[in-house]
Amino acid sequence: MSAVDSCAEALQAAILRGTHPAGERLPPERELATTFGVGRATVRSALGRLATRGLLEVRQGSGYAVRDFRRAGGLELLPQLAKLSDERGELALARELLRLRRHLAAALVERLGEPERLDLSGVTTAIDAFERRAAAGADAAELAELDLEIVAALLEASGSVPLQLCFNPLMRVVRAVPRLRAAIYGAPETNVAAYRALVGALASGTPPVDPIAILEARDASTLAALASPESDPS
């Protein structure tokens, strides 16, 4: 990670935590440079990056002011928000992320079910790889990466760029939160069964069972596991 990356991430974290609330003017560049132990050029680049993300605005003659990230930010903030959350906040955020995932999954299944020829070979290959490693006792971190390959293959088959862009931040959250990974992949055989059923339905042209209803039950189990003190992978 470069000095600009580190500085931008630290400043962004401070904004997401509320250390610098919306409307506040940030300290001058030279003060920020001293705080982070970097040069002013590095600070300037980091501030420009956050302005591009919608977290800061330039006020002529008075430097940078903090914007309300809830109104101006995008999905790319989700992974860092997840990492900054305490256990209670993590559970609340996970609940909302899983809700969002359910509805995106429904949109993906709808797109995949449109009457056109689908190439699902990449999806099947990715499911096979997941199943083999799950049977071999792979840990949640490895299973998460393999599962994300399945999702990526489904998105590729859908041909929907907007759906791919919406899923990407959610996939990064799974990578960023070990407790959530452990909860999602606690019973990997159920992940495999669900994917096999989806591929079978798509291949036969049979409408799949409502994905929201299926995922609601799975997500309830995930949240229950996440709420358990035993879910800490450390």
Q: How much is the pLDDT for 42? A: 96
**Do residues 227 and 115 share a domain?**
yes
Domain boundary among 73, 90, 109: 73
Among 160, 166, 155, 146, CA closest to 103? 166
Residue 66 β-bridge partners = 56
Number of other CB atoms surrounding residue 232 within 10 Å: 11
**Do residues 60 and 81 share a domain?**
no
Domain boundary among 34, 54, 73: 73
**Do residues 215 and 100 share a domain?**
yes
Per residue of the chain (234 residues), give pLDDT as tens: 899 999 999 999 999 999 999 999 999 999 999 999 999 999 999 999 999 999 999 887 778 999 999 999 888 888 888 888 877 788 888 899 999 999 999 999 989 888 676 789 999 999 999 999 999 999 999 999 999 999 999 999 999 999 999 999 888 888 888 888 999 998 999 999 989 988 988 888 887 778 788 888 889 989 998 888 665 554
**Do residues 30 and 112 share a domain?**
no
Q: How much is the pLDDT for 123? A: 95
Q: What is the C-alpha separation between 159 and 97, in angstroms, rounded?
A: 23
**Do residues 101 and 208 share a domain?**
yes
Q: How much is the pLDDT for 80? A: 86
Q: How much is the pLDDT for 162? A: 94
Please report the DSSP string for 170-215 in residue order.
HHHHHHH-HHHHHHHTSSHHHHHHHHHHHHHHHHHTPPPP-HHHHH
Enclosing domain of residue 80:
76-231
**Do residues 90 and 181 share a domain?**
yes
Q: Could you give the number of structural domains in the chain? A: 2
Number of other CB atoms surrounding residue 61 within 10 Å: 5
Strand 63-66 with 56-59, pairing: antiparallel
How far CA 152 is from CA of 7, 61, 82, 132, 163, in Å, comes to: 31, 46, 21, 18, 10
Residue 64 β-bridge partners = 58
Q: What is the C-alpha separation between 104 and 28, in angstroms, rounded?
A: 42
